[in-house]
Amino acid sequence: MMSLLKQEHGDVERVLSGLSRRAAWSGGPPIANVLMAKALAQPDLISLAAGFVEHQSLPVELVEKAIEKLFSSRATALESLQYGTTLGHPRLRRALWDRVSQAEAAVGLRHAGPEQIVITAGSNQLLYLVAEALLDPGDIVLCATPSYFVFLGMIKSFGARTVGVASDRDGMIPEALEDRLAWLERRGELERVKAIYVASYFDNPTGLSLGPERRPALLEVAQRWSRKHRLYIIEDCAYRDLSYYEEEWPSIRSYDVTGQHVVMVGSFSKSFSPGLRVGWGLLPPALLDPVLVLKGHHDFGSPNFNQMVMATILEEGWLEEHVARLRSIYRRKLETTLKAVEGMLRPVVAVKYVPPRGGLYVWLQLPEEWDTGVEGPLFQAAVEDGVVYVPGEYCFPEEGEPTLRCCLRLSFAMPDDINLEKGMERLARAITRCGSAAPR
C-alpha cells in the first residue's frame, strides 16, 4: 500500500514536471554514479567497484602511432574529421570481420559478413538500440542470474521487464531456460518474451563463461520456442579477449547457421580503450535496418575519427600486441585477488566463489544472513575503512529468480597491485568488524 502511494505520488510529480513515462522508468541515478560520488567525497577510497580498465596500461603510444599514420595522408586525415555513415566505417567493419571470423574458425560464421556489422559508440549503445528495436512496454527479456546491472536498468527504462533464468558456474542453464519459458506460457506471457541476454565470456558480474555445450543448447531452446515470433539471443562478448588461460570457445552465434537468432555484441572498451567508445554488433538481417534507422535518430554515425584510429590499430596488428600485454597484467591481478580472498577473507567469513579464468571481476557470496547493500552495515563499514564494491543485489533481474542480498562484485582491474591488496585488506577488516557486530 505504502509503495503504491509512493508510486502514485511519484507519478503526480512526474506529470507536474512535464516528464515522460520513459524518464520515470529510467529511475534514479545508476549505482555507478552513487559509487562515483562516494569516491570523489573520499579521495583515498579504493574502488573495487568501478568496471574501469587499468589506467596505466591504456594504449597511449599505440593510439599516438595510429593518429600519426592516419594524419600522414591529408586525404585520410580529412576523411576522419568528416561525418561518416550510420553503419560505421567500412575499413573498421572489414578489419573487425576478419578478426571475428578468424576467432570463429573452429565452427565458422554462416550467413554473416562485414555488411551486417554495425559500429556503435561503445557496445552499450548497441545493446540500447537492439532493445529499442525489440521492446514495447511490458515485454520481457530473459536474463542470466545474475546479469550486467547496466543492461538490467536499460531494459527497465523501456518499461520492459527482466526475468531471471537460473545460472550456475557454467552460466545460464538450458533446462532452466526451457522451464522459465514454459512457466511464462502457463501465465499467458510467452508472447511478451522478446530476447534472452547472456554474456558468454567472463561475464559481468561473475567473471564466468557459458559452458561450451550450453552454447548450442541455449540456441536450440530459443529456436524451438520461437513460435509466434522470433526469440533473439543477445550474446554479449564484451570480455571475450580477456582470457588468461588460453581457452577459446566458439560463440553462440557460430552455431546459428541461419544467422537469424543471435545478436553478437562486442567492444574494444575492455581490450583496448573505453575512452575511444568503439563497440559493434553482428546483426541478424531482420534487425539491421530497424537498428540503423534508430541509430540515425541518435547520432548519424559514431565518431568517424575514433573508428579510423581503431581500424588502423586492427590493420597494423597492434590490438593483438596490446591484448597479449593486458592478459598478463590482468592474470596477475586476478591471481592477487583470489589469493587475498583465500588468505584474508576466508579466515574471517565463509565466502563462496568460483575462480574466473578471465575478465575483470570476482563474484563473492557471503553467508545468507549478510546484507551487502548500500544501506547495509557491510557497505557502510567498507566505506569507513576506505573501500567500495558493487553490492550484488543490483545484478539480479526483477522477476523470476530470487535476489541474493549477500553477494558482492569485486573489480580488480583499476587499482594498482599495492592498492588492490590494500583494498582487499580493508574489505577483510570491514567484514571482521561487521561479523563481530552481527551483520543484520
Ligand X SMILES: Cc1ncc(COP(=O)(O)O)c(C=O)c1O
- Site residues (vs ligand X, CB under 6 A): 51, 122-124, 148, 199, 204, 236, 238, 267, 269, 274, 279
Task: CB nearer to ligand X: give 63 or 431.
Answer: 63
Least spacing, CB of residue 166 vs ligand X, in Å: 19
Rank residues 277 and 429 by Cβ distance to ligand X and give the closer one. 277
| Closer to ligand X by Cβ: residue 116 or 302 | 302
- Nearest distance, CB of residue 148 and ligand X, angstroms: 4
- Cα(165)–Cα(146) distance, integer angstroms: 9
As measured in angstroms, the least distance from the Cβ of 363 to ligand X is 13
**CB of 281 vs ligand X, minimal distance in Å:** 11
CB atoms within 10 A of CB 235: 29
Q: What angle do CA 397, 209, 285 make, to 5 degrees?
A: 75
In the bound state, the residue with its beta carbon closest to ligand X is 122
Q: How far is the CB of 266 from ligand X (least distance, A)?
A: 8
- Cβ neighbourhood burial of 168 (10 Å; 0-12, 13-18, 19+): middle
Q: How far is the CB of 171 from ligand X (least distance, A)?
A: 13
Q: Least distance (Å) from ligand X to the CB of residue 244?
A: 17
Closest to ligand X by CB, 370 vs 394, is 394
Shortest CB 350 distance to ligand X, Å? 28
3-state secondary structure the chain: CHHHHHHHHHHHHHHHCCCCHHHHHCCCCCHHHHHHHHHHHCCCCEECCCCCCCCCCCCHHHHHHHHHHHCCCHHHHHHHCCCCCCCCCHHHHHHHHHHHHHHCCCCCCCCCCHHHEEEECCHHHHHHHHHHHHCCCCCEEEEECCCCHHHHHHHHHCCCEEEEECEECCEECHHHHHHHHHHHHHCCCHHHEEEEEEECCCCCCCCCCCCCCHHHHHHHHHHHCCCCCCCEEEEECCCCCCECCCCCCCCCHHHCCCCCCEEEEEECCCCCCHHHCCEEEECCHHHHHHHHHHHHHHHCCCCHHHHHHHHHHHHCCHHHHHHHHHHHHHHHHHHHHHHHHHHHHCCCCCCECCCCCECCEEEEECCCCCCCCCCCHHHHHHHHHCEECEEHHHHCCCECCCCCCCEEEEECCCCCHHHHHHHHHHHHHHHHHHHHCCCC
Contacts of 150 (CB under 8 A, 6+ apart): 30, 32, 124
Closer to ligand X by Cβ: residue 201 or 370: 201
Q: Grid coordinates representing 284?
A: 541478424
Q: Which is nearer to ligand X, 199 or 208 (CB)?
A: 199
In the complex, least distance from residue 124 CB atom to ligand X, rounded to whole angstroms? 3
Residue 359 dihedral angles phi and psi, to the nearest 5°: 75, -160
Is 349 or 362 the residue whose CB approaches ligand X more closely?
A: 362
Instruction: Report the residue number, 158 or 370, with the smaller CB distance to ligand X.
Output: 158
Instruction: Kindly state the smallest distance separating residue 359's Cβ from ligand X, in Å.
Output: 9
Determine phi and psi for 173, rounding to 5 degrees: -90, 120
Tell the smallest beta-carbon distance from residue 191 to ligand X (Å). 27
Q: Identify which of residues 267 and 312 has a Cβ nearer to ligand X in the complex.
A: 267
